[in-house]
């Protein structure tokens, strides 16, 4: 057995252990078990973690997560009902009027921040402000992509396991989510990176369209189909305005690595769509740095490094595009960027956009960047399984 093979086996074992051993009895997953600020369950991160569990043969654990989401959303359905009424009456909205991106591990709303305004609100107000809705101490939490992710995940679980009874079990929470997305999809909100709350992020729109598309394979609802087409057209229009490339958000000229989601996994557009191909070329030129994929060119979070999850996504794209050599290079980069005990971090901090900002985040807010990150381990397992299947075809 070669050193590379032994290392891969060790990383796989660590990844499986991180995912299986950190799921709460109720089904929720923390974003990171060792990073206090990440001891919440994000629907998006949790969905991809459950997807990894499903991929490696732990359907029971994946189902437990979706059951937790189902119970959690029903518990907070009054938020959606209140939002609908406020919109109907044209009342002023606040951040409390929206479902959160993250919940406590018990499925409750987190306590309001009482520590004052975080330093990053002062330093980068355009990234973290949500005009007219946010409070000074709010940690960005209005993110619609999470609810598209939940729809996609539960639909994929049902499709993979043929557990049609689970669709009935979750119907109330699914319907609630569809209503919520109908109410909010045209609104600016924080993107999947919890930034740019005054913009309409393309990956968020893609997540919504992808989630609705996946669940509508079961519902076959013409109104939902019409909504999906409206969202897709909005995304296409934004690309037309940006020279045939999907922008980071509507009206932007730069791109974001999370635009990969439009194709992998959400299949909003086919892999050979000209705008997808053009966006990948831009991504390779601007965001593929030092072997890994950055979020976007002027990212300031911990200085702006290369993210494990995005590198895995580009690798998945290369597998779909029949470019195995490129996928191999990315897999090897990912496997070379574990930390102590084969734990995957959120990002590599080797080739930063702004090295000086790394110290700001570490000294003024959160300390060391989190590791292990469940989402990183999940995407590695998903990528590796697809990779091994592709090279053995």
In sequence order, the 6+-apart residues with CB closer than 8 A to the CB of 25 are: none
pLDDT at 158: 99
Q: What are phi and psi of 375, to 5 degrees?
A: -60, -40
133 pLDDT more than 70: no
Cα 181 from Cα 175, distance rounded (Å):
10
pLDDT at 392: 79
pLDDT at 365: 72
pLDDT at 265: 97
Average the pLDDT over 362-382 and give the result.
Answer: 90
Please report, in angstroms and rounded to a whole number, the separation of the first and last CA atoms in the chain.
22
Q: Which run of H or of E encompasses 103?
A: strand 102-103
Query: DSSP letters of 145-212?
Result: HHHHHHHHHHHHHHHHHT-HHHHHHTHHHHHHHHHHHHHHTTS----TTS--TTS-BHHHHHHHHHHH
CB neighbour burial string for 55-74, b if at least 16 within 10 angstroms, e if fewer:
bbebbebbbbbbbbbbebbe
Please state, as a whole number, how many other Cβ atoms lie within 10 Å of the Cβ of residue 284: 12
What are the pLDDT digits (tens) for 39-89?
A: 999 999 999 999 999 999 999 999 999 999 999 999 999 999 999 999 999
135 pLDDT more than 60: no
Determine the 3-state secondary structure of 41 from DSSP: strand
109 pLDDT more than 60: yes
Are 263 and 206 a contacting pair, CB within 8 Å?
no
pLDDT at 3: 85
User: For residue 77, what are the CA distances in angstroms to 98, 146, 165, 334, 356?
Assistant: 10, 16, 22, 40, 43
Q: Of 24-28, 359-363, 371-375, which gets the smallest average pLDDT?
A: 359-363
Which one has a higher pLDDT value, 1 or 308? 308
Where helices occur in the chain by DSSP H, the ranges are 3-21, 43-55, 59-75, 77-88, 119-123, 125-128, 145-161, 164-169, 171-184, 202-219, 222-240, 274-286, 308-320, 324-335, 355-361, 374-391
What are the pLDDT digits (tens) for 308-364?
A: 999 999 999 999 999 999 999 999 999 999 999 999 999 999 999 999 999 888 887
Which one has a higher pLDDT value, 95 or 42? 42
Which one has a higher pLDDT value, 110 or 211? 211
pLDDT at 88: 97
Domain of 24, CATH number, reads 1.50.10.10
136 pLDDT more than 60: no
Are 46 and 53 a contacting pair, CB within 8 Å?
no
pLDDT band per the 50, 70, 90 thresholds, residue 368: confident
pLDDT at 117: 63
In sequence order, the 6+-apart residues with CB closer than 8 A to the CB of 308 are: 292, 334, 337, 344, 345, 346, 347, 348, 373, 376, 379, 380
Q: What are phi and psi of 245, to 5 degrees?
A: -125, 135
What are the pLDDT digits (tens) for 141-169?
A: 899 999 999 999 999 999 999 999 999 99
Closest CA to 349 of 339, 335, 341, 340: 339
Full residue range of the structural domain in which residue 121 is found: 3-391
Average the pLDDT over 135-144 and give the result.
Answer: 74
Closest CA to 283 of 313, 328, 251: 313
User: Among all chains, which residue has been given the structure tokens 């995912």?
Assistant: 19
Determine the 3-state secondary structure of 272 from DSSP: coil
Question: What mean pLDDT value characterizes the chain?
Answer: 94
Average the pLDDT over 125-139 and give the result.
Answer: 63
- For β-strands 347-348 and 288-289, DSSP reports them as unpaired
User: For residue 283, what are the CA distances in angstroms to 21, 296, 300, 352?
Assistant: 35, 9, 18, 17
User: For residue 266, what are the CA distances in angstroms to 36, 102, 108, 155, 214?
Assistant: 31, 21, 28, 11, 8
In sequence order, the 6+-apart residues with CB closer than 8 A to the CB of 77 are: 172, 176
User: For residue 281, what are the CA distances in angstroms to 46, 267, 287?
Assistant: 30, 18, 10
User: For residue 41, what are the CA distances in angstroms to 68, 304, 324?
Assistant: 10, 24, 34
132 pLDDT more than 60: no
CA quadruple 343, 351, 249, 139: dihedral sign: positive
Cα 348 from Cα 238, distance rounded (Å):
31
pLDDT at 393: 67
Are 153 and 68 a contacting pair, CB within 8 Å?
no
Structure tokens at 172: 């109330």
Are 294 and 305 a contacting pair, CB within 8 Å?
yes
230 pLDDT more than 80: yes
Counting the structural domains of the chain, the total is 1
Determine the 3-state secondary structure of 24 from DSSP: coil
């Amino acid at each position: 057995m070669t050193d590379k093979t032994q290392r891969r086996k060790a990383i796989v074992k660590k990844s499986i252990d991180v995912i299986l051993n950190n799921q709460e009895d109720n089904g929720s997953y923390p974003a990171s078990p060792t990073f206090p600020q990440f001891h919440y369950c994000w629907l998006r991160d949790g969905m991809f973690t459950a997807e990894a569990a499903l991929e490696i043969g732990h359907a029971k654990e994946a189902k437990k997560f979706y059951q937790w989401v189902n119970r959690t959303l029903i518990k907070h359905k009054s938020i959606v009902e209140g939002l609908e009424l406020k919109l109907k009456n044209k009342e002023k909205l606040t951040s409390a009027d929206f479902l959160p991106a993250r919940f406590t591990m018990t499925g409750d709303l987190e306590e309001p921040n009482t520590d004052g305004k975080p330093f990053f609100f002062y330093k980068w107000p355009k990234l973290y402000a949500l005009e007219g809705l946010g409070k000074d101490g709010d940690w960005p939490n209005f993110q619609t992509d999470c609810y598209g992710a939940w729809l996609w995940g539960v639909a994929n679980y049902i499709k993979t396991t043929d557990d049609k009874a689970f669709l009935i079990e979750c119907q109330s929470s699914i319907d609630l989510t569809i209503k919520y997305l109908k109410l909010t999809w045209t609104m600016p909100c924080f993107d999947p990176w919890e930034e740019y709350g005054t913009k309409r992020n393309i990956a968020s729109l893609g997540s919504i369209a992808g989630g609705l598309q996946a669940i509508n394979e079961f519902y076959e609802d013409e109104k939902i189909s019409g909504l999906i087409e409206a969202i897709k057209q909005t995304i296409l229009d934004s690309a037309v305005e940006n020279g045939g490339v999907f922008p980071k958000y509507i009206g932007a000229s730069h791109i974001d690595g999370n635009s990969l989601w439009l194709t992998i996994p959400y299949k909003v557009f086919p892999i050979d769509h000209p705008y997808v191909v053009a966006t990948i070329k831009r991504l390779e030129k601007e965001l593929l740095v030092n072997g890994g994929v950055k979020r976007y060119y002027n990212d300031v979070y911990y200085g702006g490094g290369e993210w494990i999850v995005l590198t895995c996504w580009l690798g998945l794209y290369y597998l779909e595009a029949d470019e195995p050599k490129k996928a191999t290079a990315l897999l090897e980069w990912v496997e070379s960027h574990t930390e102590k005990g084969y734990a995957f971090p959120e990002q590599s901090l080797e080739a930063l956009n702004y090295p000086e900002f790394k110290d700001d985040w570490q000294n003024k807010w959160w300390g060391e960047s989190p590791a292990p990150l469940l989402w990183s381990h999940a995407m590695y397992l998903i990528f590796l399984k697809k990779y091994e299947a592709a090279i053995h075809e």
